[in-house]
Structure 1
Amino acid sequence: MKLISNITFLLLVLLASCSKKIEIKPEYQLDGSSPLATIKEADNVLTGAYDGFQTGDYYRSSGPSGAYSVVPDIMGDDLIETKESLGNYQTQAEWRYESIEDDVQATWLGAWNIISGVNIILRDIDNIASQDPKAANRIKGQALAIRAHVHFDLLRYFGESLDGNSTNRGIPYVTKFDVTAKPGRSTVKESYEKILADLAEAATILSGELDKPINTDDNKTRIDWLVVKAIQARVNLYAGQWQAAADAATAVINQVELSSIDDFPSIWNDQSLEEVLWSVSFENLQDGVVYDNVFFARGNRSTYRPAQGLTALYDQANDVRYSTYMANVGTLNDIVRTPRLVVIKHLGKGTATDGVVNWKAYRVAEMYLIRAEANFRLNKETEALNDLNELREHRIDGFTGGAETGNALLTAIMTERRKELAFEGHRFFDFKRWNKTPINRCASNTDTPSTICSLDPDSRAWAWPIPFNETIVNPNIQQNDDY
């Protein structure tokens, strides 16, 4: 497949052991040339696809990219580079990326490798479904959902627009495993339609009979029906399909409660799964690699600090998010530094400070914010305010319900979204979907080595460039403008 730039597709299937540690030895290697023969093989390939989310090309921030974890916040206005930085992620922070950048190519290839894996499953699963129809449903539904989720993430970075009706260039939508394919780009509108079609099919399948539960109360590491509804809510919000976004969010809200103020901090050190829908599993593999996060990395180097424009929004005495997401820290891991405000949201499991912690890809709190924004757009201000107040009451001790209306209500929803989802990989994409609202972090730029701190609506940098290697081997794919 030319979408992986002529690199031979190799899926390393990682099998989870009975313990909580992940085995790093693959059972077998798969190049996709032979059809899957058993349900067990299909299940193993599905495990390999999930493993792709743990790489530095996706949610792991200590790898070459961390594209869907740390980077969107670094590209927004919630984080400011510090003098402790060694220049990591500076290209993204200053919006200077080019088509030859390693991080751009890693983000592109990492996504397509996951898609290739699930397309092998979807190619063969119906032919082997008679072996165990309920297991086949469980595997097929997840594969469809993964394919949709990853294509959507590609659209967020590489699409020229996020308007659901846009005829600008979107992404290729690949539904077949074919190493010789040279697909062109769908429009943004067509990309959304294909993403939502896969999600609709996944939701139908996963609401049917399965051989076993996908997730449990103490394990949320895979995509079940509730996660599919959450993905639908997010995708429809971006596309501006307000009623569909509200309906999907409601399906989740009706089944999952917000955490209490007392329990909220435990979500972030993996001591609680309250309100978590999908938590991408990260464990210390004991292979010499630490899966740390760049905000407050191993060795006590805080490379990006919380921006003053963000911290000023919190009721710092009563909002549990402030003390959960950031803290004044000096000495840590035997390294002595002057105390300074750092991000601690992803510091580690339990009392650990090694950065090894699961990535919370979807939470019910986001669903409240999605439904509030969607209902506001639908002129349902009462419903929007109710959701906003419900979330604030679960985060701010002693909060008295607000009574905002009109533009003040919309501003309050956007502000609460920023406060709630800080450092979770949303901020840059919010600016992009809000019709490329200008980014200006200059007011909070007092201690950064960089002088580049604003992004205008007409900048090419709202869309990442298609990797150079891809455009060379695939003549059907068009580069984004001005690259």
Structure 2
Amino acid sequence: MENEFLFESTILRKGKKKMKKIYNTLLSLGIVAMIFSSCSDWLDVRPSDEIKEEFLFETGNGYRTALNGIYRKLSTQDLYGQNLSWGIVDALGGMYNMDGVSSVGGGYAIQKISTRAFKDIELVSTTNAMWEAAWNIVANCNNLIQQVESADTTLFYEGEEERNMIWGEAIALRAYIQFDLLRLYAPAPSTNPGERTFIPYVDEYPAYVNNKQTVAYCLDHVVNDLKKAQDILKPIDEAKSFRVYDRLEYIASGEDRFLRERGYRLNYYAITALLARVYLYAGNLDMAYDEAMKIIKVQNAKRWFNFTSEYNITDKRNIKFYDDIIFTLYTTEVTDWDLEISYSSEDQPDYSQHYLCWHADKVKDVFGNEGSDDYRLLYQFEEKYWGYRTLKYHKQEEKSTGGRWGNPMLPMIRMSEVYYIAAEAICNKDLGEAREYIKKVKNGRGVSVDLSNLDKNGLVDMIVNDAQRELFGEGQVFFMFKRLNRQVVNYSGSSTSVKREPVLPTEENFVLPLPDSESNIK
């Protein structure tokens, strides 16, 4: 697989140096989104070089570069390359045994956020960088949306279809990042936050008003953006194939590649899965079920998002189980970041090695007697001194297709989560149907179960249990605990003196404080 993967533009053949200079200026110096010290700064500024921005959007290539730049920025360590996936968000969810975590490579922030030391100076530096990078993405999205929705369709290789593709993805990406900001910096809807306000929802560029909004207001705007993106992209994506082969293999080239290989981007199906996630978080079970069923019906008919077979895991080293991923980001650097925080050497004694791992007693509590069959424990972890080290981002041999394709992936939405959503959303009306969705996930990961006696409460407990196995390192477990208003349990200590420390689901523990520089947000 080439380094460029799915989000890398390959169409900058002519004038490449000139366009690269503009691209770097765009993302590094703030032509689209100024680097800022507070919300009021970035909401009020305009590009410092209107001529360069104007030139960027003179061609279809420029629009592609802008969209690719957004995907690239989302994949950095500040955002989903670490912090919002396997980094501090998973630490908030109690996923790691802190006894084995290194203090380098982001490990210090992981240690501190697990204890809710939100004001620690080094942790503040990490969360501030995350906050700023996220709003930088929002500004980039808003500017691209503003430019592309009125762009002449003759600028684009495939005319209106390509213009709409870029437009729809940009709208969905704007919603995606602001939804996660809301989940971090505001209480869950299930706790009845009422008319209190927490963060803005920004859908204009430049934006001159930076008022904080209620949770309900922000969720309504996330939903509206996603529904609009659905409407734009549905006629484009329903005519395409999203088999694994079509999502991964490079058949096309040049402009054709950018258009055809959208299988892991935020396409119509990924947006629909995301909308199901949003509705479930908002407590709208009927709508969550409806959106999840759209994906399940497609899966039943097309078989696009199948669970990875044990053969493909072992023979092809597909330990990321990418067959059922619906949306993923990409960076070739993630294996380096994993190595930095999970370094070890055969020359070191076991207790001196450091890595991200589950505590051995948590593994026992979560997997129970199913661990010997569950592909997730068998192939995505290795037992070591401090517990079970995660291998999800550990570099696999690239001579295998699983390593070559899977190494750079940052999974954002999986088919398994769609089944979880459908099960939880329908269990009050049809418990039998809900059981089948959970059974499908477990069977797909090598576990045979009889759920015939499982009641509603037991089913939700099983979803919580299985999601911890399934979504380890993907930044979703904490938000599940938060949505359900359940405590997180941090595990530490030796197997003979294990400590299970509950973290209660209070706002003090589950809502990140705004950066001090944002105290002027009204």
TM-score range (shorter-chain normalised) is 0.7 to 0.9
2:415 paired with 1:364: yes
Of 337, 345, 348, 2:395 maps to 348
Paired residue for 1:335?
Answer: none
| Contact 1:234 1:370 (8 Å CA) reproduced | yes
Structure-to-structure mapping, 1:315-326, within 5 angstroms = 315-326=370-381
> CA offsets, 1:334-373, max 9 Å, x none?
xxxx695311122124469999531111110110011111
- Alignment TM-score, normalising by the size of structure 2: 0.75
Quick one: which amino acid aligns to residue 75 of structure 2? Q
Of 77, 86, 92, 1:69 maps to 86
Q: 1:258 to 1:294 in 2, by over 3 A?
A: farther
| Contact 1:294 1:303 (8 Å CA) reproduced | no
Deviation at 1:261, TM superposition (A): 4.0
Paired residue for 1:7?
Answer: none
For 2:411 and 2:476, the matched residues in 1 are separated by 12
Deviation at 1:162, TM superposition (A): 3.6
For 2:84 and 2:463, the matched residues in 1 are separated by 25
| Contact 2:188 2:281 (8 Å CA) reproduced | no
| Contact 2:344 2:355 (8 Å CA) reproduced | no
Q: 1:319 to 1:295 in 2, by over 3 A?
A: farther
Paired residue for 1:4?
Answer: none
Paired residue for 1:194?
Answer: 221
For 1:360 and 1:298, the matched residues in 2 are separated by 25
Q: Secondary structure at the match of 1:78?
A: coil
Paired residue for 1:122?
Answer: 145
Q: 1:456 to 1:231 in 2, by over 3 A?
A: same
Quick one: which amino acid aligns to residue 120 of structure 1? N
> CA offsets, 1:124-158, max 9 Å, x none?
11221432211110000000100000000101111
Paired residue for 2:503?
Answer: 455
Of 324, 332, 355, 1:275 maps to 324
Deviation at 1:188, TM superposition (A): 0.2
Deviation at 1:468, TM superposition (A): 1.2
Q: 1:252 to 1:27 in 2, by over 3 A?
A: farther
2:95 paired with 1:78: yes
> CA offsets, 1:261-288, max 9 Å, x none?
4156379847864111112112259xxx
Q: 1:17 to 1:292 in 2, by over 3 A?
A: farther
Deviation at 1:429, TM superposition (A): 1.3
Q: Secondary structure at the match of 1:109?
A: helix
Deviates more, 1:233-242 or 1:217-226: 217-226
Paired residue for 1:26?
Answer: 20
Q: 1:282 to 1:237 in 2, by over 3 A?
A: same
Structure-to-structure mapping, 1:113-262, within 5 angstroms = 113-131=136-154, 132-163=159-190, 166-167=193-194, 168-178=196-206, 181-209=208-236, 216-218=246-248, 220-256=263-299, 257-262=305-310
Paired residue for 1:309?
Answer: 362
Deviates more, 1:49-58 or 1:247-256: 247-256
Paired residue for 1:3?
Answer: none
Q: 1:211 to 1:15 in 2, by over 3 A?
A: farther
| Contact 2:75 2:81 (8 Å CA) reproduced | yes
For 1:60 and 1:39, the matched residues in 2 are separated by 28
| Contact 2:112 2:120 (8 Å CA) reproduced | no
Q: Larger % of helix: which?
A: 2
For 2:463 and 2:387, the matched residues in 1 are separated by 29
2:88 paired with 1:42: no
> CA offsets, 1:434-475, max 9 Å, x none?
12x222325x4448xx9994322335131111111222xxx2
Deviation at 1:59, TM superposition (A): 1.6
Of 454, 457, 471, 1:407 maps to 457
For 1:321 and 1:102, the matched residues in 2 are separated by 34
- Alignment TM-score, normalising by the size of structure 1: 0.81
Deviation at 1:309, TM superposition (A): 2.2
| Contact 2:487 2:502 (8 Å CA) reproduced | yes
Quick one: which amino acid aligns to residue 327 of structure 1? E
Deviation at 1:38, TM superposition (A): 3.0
Point out where structure 1 has 5 or more consecutive residues left out of the alignment: 1-13, 330-337, 478-483
| Contact 2:308 2:321 (8 Å CA) reproduced | no
Deviation at 1:27, TM superposition (A): 4.4
Deviates more, 1:388-397 or 1:116-125: 388-397
Q: 1:395 to 1:112 in 2, by over 3 A?
A: same
Deviation at 1:44, TM superposition (A): 1.1
| Contact 2:489 2:500 (8 Å CA) reproduced | no
> CA offsets, 1:65-107, max 9 Å, x none?
x233322221222211124522522221111112961111111
Q: Secondary structure at the match of 1:208?
A: helix
For 1:57 and 1:362, the matched residues in 2 are separated by 19
Q: 1:273 to 1:455 in 2, by over 3 A?
A: closer
| Contact 1:60 1:293 (8 Å CA) reproduced | no
Quick one: which amino acid aligns to residue 96 of structure 2? L
For 2:167 and 2:8, the matched residues in 1 are separated by 18
| Contact 2:99 2:386 (8 Å CA) reproduced | no
Q: 1:264 to 1:466 in 2, by over 3 A?
A: farther
Q: 1:371 to 1:429 in 2, by over 3 A?
A: same
Identity %: 21
Quick one: which amino acid aligns to residue 476 of structure 1? I
Paired residue for 1:465?
Answer: 513
For 2:149 and 2:166, the matched residues in 1 are separated by 11
- Measured on the aligned residues, the alpha-carbon RMSD in Å equals 3.5
